[in-house]
Structure 1
């Protein structure tokens, strides 16, 4: 197996594990818990799972019917600010919790199998640049973890971070320029140095060692920041340089319009 193939298999395995962990969190939930509000305004636990279901299903179209995916892009362009919310609301209105859970399981399993069966080097259309198998799997893992965090917060559950966060951090770093573009800003030409303390104390570093613009802090905190699940003032992240400071205010690892982020603790 080539190094690239090994990386792809590893992220696909991690995606499956992340999905299964979230499944365990909601599988025993009762009606009140499915209806519980999450930190995302207007979204219940059911809306969070509905969103994951919808994204898995459109990703499956991109993987198995790439020529048909253009229709999904057209829908998004017609309602760029609302199409994600509308999809989640429609699914919740149509499916009771038990059916929603079953359909999410079936949809994600179909997607995971399609990704594993995809030929090496293939690129799939998406709402942004085309994505490889590893990139698509990483994006799905990032979203599963981020929406899982909203669900855990709603249910009052403290999740233990895992080594799978390395995938979230990587996509957060790679999406740096997108955070500027989506706000109509020009990203800095200079690369940043990002140094994160992993769960076992290991250093995870990205970018040139001598970069003037620098970000540092715990891996978990960085992942919460780039998925906009916590305000930067509530996280132990540091920035050196004005460009790095700006990035911590706007960073987002997900495609789509600029997120509003979360308020500081005490302001909710």
Structure 2
């Protein structure tokens, strides 16, 4: 069973790292454009707060979540844009306050949720540990957008393993969300971990393989970099077909990024 307590501690640390980047920003600072098309730093934080609200609804009222999300099934992208736009002109103290409160509420709700309960979501339903991992992934990904906007360089660490793990686990979803047949063969993923060592998934003898730095893989599966800008390699038809469409988040993939364009992609 996944260590939910450990994941929640890492989720809190990921939020705190992003908070350190934005805590001192005034309205002008929050209005700085990020590499996500049309989104400022305020949009990024408002999106995280919006997703936290949906997470709390899914955890506390699954039936209510299913009912409300069904109405947005064909317009998730539009709903995401509206949620991000909520904070575009919000006062800094108000925006930061609701984002901070929301992420703490989510952590509390995840901590007390039945560990084997499958929580509904816009993609496949998840157990609490998987939802905590997804919240960490999204915080990291939007934190990358903010860091890029501010010219900050984040030092990769062990928390990246959560993002990489989710990126591997969502291989089938990346094909399915595009209406493509999911490969019927396993893929071996071997990543060079920050600070040394290797993180691996899949059978050692698999013919299809992906390898490279863990940071590059995480930037890929969160669609924050174009594959041509990353030091990843794929061998075998399944692995080669997967890398260009890899996606660790639910919903539509978002606009494609051009090589050299930096952190741009889906939410």
* Short-chain TM bin: over 0.9
Gaps of 5+ in 1: none
Offset, 1:72: 2.9
CA deviations on 1:38-69 (whole Å, 9 max, x unpaired) are 01000000000000000011100111111211
Question: Secondary structure at 2:76's aligned position in 1?
Answer: coil
Instruction: Give the aligned partner of residue 164 of structure 2.
Output: 169
Q: In 1, are the aligned partners of 2:115 and 2:129 still within 8 Å (CA)?
A: no
Partners of 1:103 and 1:127 in 2: CA distance? 22
Q: CA RMSD in A?
A: 1.5
Task: Please give the secondary structure, in 2, of the residue aligned with 1:246.
Answer: helix
Residue 223 of structure 2 corresponds to residue 228 of structure 1: yes
CA contact (8 A) 1:58 1:72 kept: no
Question: Which SS does the other structure have where 1:265 is aligned?
Answer: coil
Counterpart-to-counterpart distance in 1, 2:129 and 2:67:
24
Alignment partner, residue 149 of structure 1: 144
**Residue among 97, 104, 109 paired with 1:102:** 97
Tell me the residue number matched to 2:65.
69
Q: Tell me, yes or no, if the aligned pair for 1:172 and 1:253 is still in contact at 8 Å.
A: yes
CA contact (8 A) 2:18 2:143 kept: yes
8 A Cα contact 1:194 1:205, kept in partner: yes
TM-score normalised per structure 1:
0.94
1:136 to 128, 131, 135: 131
**Superposed displacement of residue 200, structure 1:** 2.0
1:66-114 residue CA offsets vs partner (Å, 9 max, x unmatched): 1211233124214233111112113434x32220000001111111111
Cα pair 1:75 1:83 within 8 Å, conserved: no
- 24-33 or 67-76: bigger deviation: 67-76
List runs of 5+ in structure 2 lacking aligned partners: none
CA separation in 1, counterparts of 2:233 and 2:76?
33
Give the alignment's TM-score, normalised by structure 2. Answer: 0.94
Q: Secondary structure at the match of 1:204?
A: strand
Task: For 1:5-24, list aligned pairs within 5 A.
Answer: 7-24=3-20
Matched, 1:42 2:38: yes
Give 1:29 shift. 1.1
Matched, 1:79 2:75: yes
Greater alpha carbon shift after TM alignment, 98-107 vs 252-261? 252-261
- Give me the whole-angstrom Cα distance separating, in 2, the residues matched to 1:8 and 1:100: 28
Tell me which residue corresponds to 2:199: 204
Q: How many residues get paired?
A: 263
Does structure 2 retain, via aligned residues, the 8 Å contact 1:175–1:253? yes
**Displaced runs of 4 or more, over 3 A:** none
Matched, 1:123 2:112: no
8 Å Cα contact 2:42-2:87 kept in structure 1? no
Q: Secondary structure at the match of 2:125?
A: coil
Contact 1:12 1:137 in 2 (8 A): yes
Q: Distance in 2 between matches of 1:186 and 1:205?
A: 24
1:251 aligned residue (240, 246, 252): 246
For residues 80 and 194 of structure 1, what CA distance do their matches in structure 2 show? 30
Tell me if structure 2 keeps the 8 A contact 1:192–1:213: yes
